[in-house]
Structure 1
């Protein structure tokens, strides 16, 4: 099993055709076919099946693909970390940002890294915290923002921010930042909620229990964008962190107010793997992300948030 065979495997899976894979790899078709067949012979299993839609990985192929992608990624990372000049920080860094904080942090982070460390190949993924933690544990991320998480056997965490959850409604309902809304009042409306199992939903369920109030959940979704879209369309209210709706409130497309009775906080941390070597490029990105978070707090861009070392 060699690198060329793994590249052929991954490319065929991605484009669905040996012919197109040969074009991508700048090889003749028989060479790609030979690499796949050699892999199958060495492993004693079929890695692809031919369908009307093209080449589809078998169950064994899916397993090998996952490992092959990681192996090729690690080789690419190692190549990128070999410094072309003394003092230069180079390498590939894949960072996870919470879906709610992506609009606030992604652009200034990318701009700062491009300006100060052009040798770093920065890759940014956004998702809910549960997905980001899984990707971090699986080795698909080098560092990530997460929330309401202490250290685990596999992860180190650095607390960064504490922020309140907000009630979010259509503009005609007239919620205002200066007037917090009791949870009981929020629960009197139909609610568009994060899907069960997400960390944000767990916080909201816990707040409902403390308030002794049942919720009328009419829609559940795993997308913050869809949550806000449905609220704008009049399907109900929702509950989101302030950072996720600051822009919408500023443009008047949503109205929002901090949640109270009970006031509900979430804690955002920076997570990194405990195991393995931390590349210099990863340290640089972690430091810059921390600076960007603190800058957003100082500039008042992160509603009802405070550094984690501040008192509630």
Structure 2
């Protein structure tokens, strides 16, 4: 198996066409077809099939595609690590961030990396927590923002902030808390719109509820934070979340965040990297910048409901 075969296969999947991939790769189509056939013979399985939509990966092909991406990324990182300077880091850095944390970090981080490291190609991926964990473990991501649920032992982990979760409704909602705070029991009496179990925040909420001898009776499971936001604005119910994913709506007065008075409901936001794949100089520079930026956002009050943990940059 050769690296060029991995690149060829990835290009076909990405472009959905042998002819388009051949043009991008600057090789003739028969040669591309031959390389894919050799790859399939070596693996003993079919990786691609034709459909009305073009060339598509089979089930085995989709699995192989993920591994091929990870391998190609690690090779690129290795080359970058050899060639780059510690004074002027360059190369590609891929960082994953959960949907429920992107509101606080994503745009400030994009701006900060562009300003501080113009030679770094920064790839910011927003995904479900479970997907980020898999991509970080496989090497497709250099860094990931994850929530410490006690299952991060396989990664190098640096705790960033502790985020309080609040009871959030539409402004003037029928479900709004009547006082400045609300008890967990009362919060659980209204229909709750919560991220699905694949989100790192949901297991934390359910664990705290169980620990206090309660249960969630009325829940609407939604995978997308964008759809969850729309459901709250439509006054279909309330949610229990950190402020960060709904920060813009709260600041505009479209939503109201109410503290939970009798239970400490929070999550630890951590910056993680692989224990097995070393960070490039560029990735280490971004890692340090994430820590510094988190401190600035908390100190300035722009990361609402967050408390900086005692870590060294």
Residue 15 (structure 1) shift: 2.1
2:34 aligns to what? 34
Q: How many residues align?
A: 310
Q: Does 1:70 align with 2:92?
A: no
2:146 equivalent in structure 1: 146
Name the structure 1 match of 2:281. Answer: 280
TM-score by length of 1: 0.89
- The change in CA–CA distance for 1:278 and 1:86 in structure 2 (over 3 A counts) is closer
**Structure 1 residues 87 and 65: alpha-carbon distance in aligned structure 2, compared to 1, 3 A threshold:** same
Query: Greater CA deviation, 83-92 or 260-269?
Result: 83-92
- Quote the residue 1:216 is aligned against: 217
Name the counterpart of 1:295: 296
Name the CA distance, whole Å, in 2 between partners of 1:156 and 1:183: 34
The CA distance in 2 between the partners of 1:217 and 1:94, in whole Å, is 38
Question: How big is each residue's C-alpha offset from its partner over 1:196-242, in whole Å with a ceiling of 9 and x where there is no partner?
Answer: 35431222223323444443324101222222210111111111102
For structure 2, the 5+ residue unaligned runs are none
Deviations, residues 19-69 of structure 1 (Å, cap 9, x unaligned) = 222222222222222222333344444332223332233344334323322
Alpha carbons of 1:118 and 1:163: their partners in 2 closer, same or farther (altered >3 Å)? same
The 2-side partners of 1:209 and 1:153 are apart by 24
- Please say if residues 10 and 69 of structure 1, whose CA atoms lie closer than 8 Å, have aligned partners that are also in contact: yes
The yes-or-no answer on 1:184 pairing with 2:185 is yes
Conserved? CA contact 1:177–1:258, under 8 Å: no
Partner of 2:228 in structure 1?
A: 227
Q: How does 1:129-208 map onto structure 2 within 5 Å?
A: 129-150=129-150, 152-173=152-173, 175=176, 179-208=180-209
Query: Residue by residue, what CA displacement relative to the aligned partner does 1:237-278 show, whole Å, maximum 9, x if unpaired?
Result: 111102222221111221111122213121111112112322
CA–CA separation in structure 1 for the residues paired with 2:132 and 2:26: 35
Other structure's SS at 1:165 match? strand
Q: Secondary structure at the match of 2:83?
A: coil
Q: Secondary structure at 2:260's aligned position in 1?
A: strand
Task: State how far apart, in whole Å, the 1-side matches of 2:40 and 2:206 are.
Answer: 50
- The CA distance in 2 between the partners of 1:63 and 1:129, in whole Å, is 19
Measure how far apart 1:145 and its partner are.
1.4
Q: Tell me the distance in 1 between the aligned counterparts of 2:263 and 2:162.
A: 16
SS in 2 for 1:172: coil
Structure 1 residues 35-44 or 117-126, which shifts more? 35-44
User: Deviations 1:132-185 (Å, cap 9, x if unpaired)?
Assistant: 222222222111111124574421211111121010111113858981211122
> Structure 1 residues 60, 304: CA separation in 2 closer, same or farther (over 3 Å shift)?
closer
Return closer, same or farther for 1:118/1:197 CA change in 2, 3 Å cut-off. closer
TM-score by length of 2: 0.88
Hey, what's the Cα distance between the residues in 2 that align with 1:179 and 1:291? 32
Give the corresponding residue for 1:98.
98
Contact 1:96 1:127 in 2 (8 A): yes
Change beyond 3 A, Cα 1:84–1:110: same
For the aligned residues, what is the CA RMSD? Answer: 2.6
